[in-house]
Structure 1
Amino acid sequence: MRSPTLLSLAINSALLNLSHISDLSSIPEPILSELFLRTLRAGKLTEKVLNLFIATGNDEILSLIQALNIQHIVWPILPTRCSEKF
């Protein structure tokens, strides 16, 4: 049985702590791509995490997001007060 590589352990650790990361721009492109794919496989792609990956500007990730038709969730804004009388 092979032991995991240091790179694999680092990506797994980043995946587990992705919600606490505020910037992914300093991560090299091949590692960033692998992290994105593992995030998708693990089902951990949230709105915040999606924004982190989009903010990197990585062309491969942006084209993958477009190819998979991953979209932002648009929450409706409901009025809290109505000035009109009914």
Structure 2
Amino acid sequence: MRTPPSLLSLTVDSALLNLSNISDLSPLPEHILLDLFLKTLRAGKLNEKVLKLFIATGKDEVLALIRSLNIRPIVDPVLPTRCSERF
């Protein structure tokens, strides 16, 4: 007989399914954030919004993992809206 999943595992899986509804991950401990981040990667659910959510936690291990995987947020170029010169 298989052992049932832990409550922590079920919670992380539920958070993974509802990442788009979560606005702040900073109260979570680092080991849970790391597990959630890795599961997010495996599930193919890492997008710009989710990446910013993990970066906003400011947790050292999470930021180090993101850097080690060479994942960077997309920087949108800022185009000038006015020209100082007349054409």
- Provide TM-score, normalisation by structure 1: 0.85
Q: Deviations over 1:25-77 (max 9, x none)?
A: 11112111111111111111111111111111111111111111101112345
Match of 1:42 in 2: 43
Match of 1:51 in 2: 52
Structure 2 alignment gaps of length 5 or more: none
Q: Partners in 2 of 1:6 and 1:66 — Cα distance?
A: 30
User: What RMSD over aligned residues (CA atoms) do the two structures have, in Å?
Assistant: 1.7
Q: Partners in 2 of 1:41 and 1:63 — Cα distance?
A: 18
Aligned residue pair count: 85
Q: Partners in 2 of 1:42 and 1:77 — Cα distance?
A: 32
Moved over 6 A (4+): 79-83
Q: Partners in 2 of 1:84 and 1:45 — Cα distance?
A: 44
Q: Does the CA contact (< 8 Å) of 2:30 and 2:62 recur in 1?
A: no
Match of 2:19 in 1: 18
Structure 1 alignment gaps of length 5 or more: none
Q: Partners in 2 of 1:56 and 1:47 — Cα distance?
A: 15
Shift of 1:78: 5.4
- Provide TM-score, normalisation by structure 2: 0.84
